[in-house]
Amino acid sequence: MSVALGLHPPLVVRTVPVRDPGDLISLLPGPAAYTWVHHGDGLVAWGEALRVTIPPGPGRFAWARDWLAGAFGHADIDDRVRRPGSGPVAFGSFTFDPASAGSVLVVPRVVVARRDGQAWLTTVGEENLGLVTPAVPPGRIRYSDGALTAPGWEHAVAAAVERITSGGLEKVVLARDLIATAEADIDPRVPLARLAARYPECYTFSVGGLIGATPELLVRHTGRAIESLVLAGTIPSGADPATLFDSPKDRYEHTCAVASVEAALKPLCAELDVPAEPELLSLPNVQHLASRVTGKLDDGASVLDVVAALHPTAAVGGTPTDDAVALIPRLEQMDRGGYAGPVGWIDARGDGEWGIALRCAQLDGPRARLFAGCGIMGGSDPAAELAEAQSKFRAMQYALEG
């Protein structure tokens, strides 16, 4: 049911403990799936009790928070678990550009969740576990260029390097899109299962046709405690990690990304812990420099308030972020849609987990639009950046092809 703010009927929500359900993604009865799974734990959901398209504009996060306050504040909630993710939950996806349409919040009818050995079932309205249909692979996949050809994107990288070396800009993140067309409609359950199995350390997500496995946790919010995993600086999976830690370009790119997160969180936090040195995050296709930032909020702000403060980070925009973000569409020649935007979930307590939509694709019938991005610095080589982007495409290509 799609509704306007304030016009929805009260929700009747029931959450009860259940036995361990096993593999969460295998529970999804049909292709209309909502997921957030990390190392096997998380939430999967289906059905729509409420759905709203969020109006574009700079106030969209506040609008979404107020809409949810109305939806959850008047709900009849029987929550026998009372943990982050129990009770009513909304899944959401926000576009990268606040001026772009397509941001959405959905309150599913059925949620199955597991965290730290405890599992639960949430239903909204009459319990209906859904009609089960088999997930069928999409068949042969063919690829075609998105907004730019490979040489065209290398030219955009070269233009970004020239802009950086001329002064006033330190880093800009440029993305590519790639179009995949299958023989049949793409059932998201097939690529989601493959992503969760191959990339368990990532957050496998599905909201409104946007699916992926992001390594980047924008924020986890539990009570007053928050956590953000910052990634910037990348090498292929087979390369020597020492080259990443010894690379001035990658280290500086990472420093800029951490600084932007620290600056965004400081006004919200009574305590903030920023690591002095990054660690290594190794994935099957790439390796990243990673820093885990933790803190405690001042006033119990909701997870959406933290998301609003953080987005966009330097890791997906650049440095200075406002200048870099203004340059991005001119060089990329495309609308990113939900790519590099916040994606995740929020409950009635304001707790939740949100990632940055990376290593992802937007599904539309038999068509998938894949995305990959790279941080461009003054010393960036266009051919090397193209190779990095190609390595980042491989996660979704594997998910589609098997």
Annotated catalytic residue within 48, 154, 201, 216 = 216
Whether 140 has a pLDDT exceeding 90, the answer reads yes
Distances (CA, A) of 41 to 64, 200, 238: 26, 10, 28
Answer for the pair 195, 402: CB distance below 8 angstroms, yes or no.
Answer: no
Spatial distance between the Cα atoms of 72 and 304, rounded to a whole number of angstroms = 14
Question: What pTM, to 2 d.p., does this model score?
Answer: 0.94
Which of the four pLDDT bands, split at 50, 70 and 90, describes residue 126?
Answer: confident
Q: What is the mean pLDDT of the chain?
A: 94
**pLDDT beyond 70 at 183:** yes
Closest by CA to 394, choosing from 167, 238, 187, is 238
Q: What single-letter amino acid sits at 210?
A: L
Q: Which amino acid is at 57?
A: G
385 catalytically annotated: no
Concatenated DSSP letters of 83-117 = STT-SSEEEEE--SSTTSS--EEEE-SEEEEEETT
- Residue 127 pLDDT class (50, 70, 90 cuts): low
Question: Is a pLDDT exceeding 80 seen at residue 3?
Answer: no
Closest CA to 215 of 35, 41, 399, 360: 360
Which residue among 126, 170, 171, 279 is the active-site one?
171
Mean pLDDT value of segment 316-334: 95
For 307-388, strand residue ranges (E) read 318-319, 342-347, 352-356, 360-364, 367-376
Residue 238's pLDDT is what?
Answer: 85
Region 157-175: what's the mean pLDDT?
95
- Comparing CA positions, the residue from 353, 305, 338 lying closest to residue 66 is 305
DSSP 313: P
Q: What is the pLDDT of residues 267-284, one digit of tens each?
A: 999 999 999 999 999 988
Instruction: Provide the CA 285 distance to its chain's centre, in angstroms.
Output: 18
d(CA 87, CA 13): 7
Q: What pLDDT, on a 0 to 100 scale, did the predictor assign at position 129?
A: 59
Mean pLDDT of 385-393: 94
Closest by Cα among 264, 260, 265, 262 to 274: 262
Rounded CA gap, 339 and 296, in Å?
28
Q: What is the pLDDT of residues 228-238, one digit of tens each?
A: 999 988 888 88
Mean pLDDT within 29-54: 96
- For residue 351 the two structure tokens come to 């707790």
CATH 3.40.140.10 fits 12-401, yes or no: no
Cβ–Cβ under 8 Å, residues 179 and 145 = yes
pLDDT of residue 8: 61
Give whole-number Cα distances, 276 to 228, 264, 290, in Å. 15, 18, 11
Instruction: Print burial letters for 358-377: b (CB count within 10 Å at least 16), e (below 16).
Output: bbbbbbeeeebbbbbbbbbb
- Does residue 320 have a cis bond before it (omega within 30 degrees)? yes
Element holding 242 (H helix, E strand): helix 241-245
- 216 is annotated as an active-site residue: yes
CA atoms of 351 and 91, how far apart (whole Å): 12
**Tell me, what's the pLDDT at 237?**
84
For 6-35, write each residue's pLDDT tens digit. 456 789 999 999 999 999 999 999 999 999
Burial class (CB in 10 A: 0-12, 13-18, 19+), 99: exposed
Dihedral angle, C-alpha 311, 215, 333, 255, nearest 10 °: 60
Tokens of 171: 């880093």
Is the predicted pLDDT of residue 300 greater than 80, yes or no?
A: no
Domain boundaries, the chain: 12-401
Percent above pLDDT 90 for the chain:
87
- For residue 371, what are the contacts with CB-CB under 8 A and spacing of at least 6? 175, 176, 177, 178, 336, 339, 340, 358, 360, 361
- Whether residue 133 is predicted with pLDDT greater than 50 in this model: the reply is yes
* Nearest residue to 88 via CA among 26, 8, 22: 8
* 333-336: Cβ within 8 A, 24+ apart: 333/147, 333/148, 333/156, 334/146, 334/147, 334/148, 334/175, 334/177, 335/97, 335/100, 336/95, 336/96, 336/97, 336/100, 336/175, 336/371
pLDDT score of 43 = 98
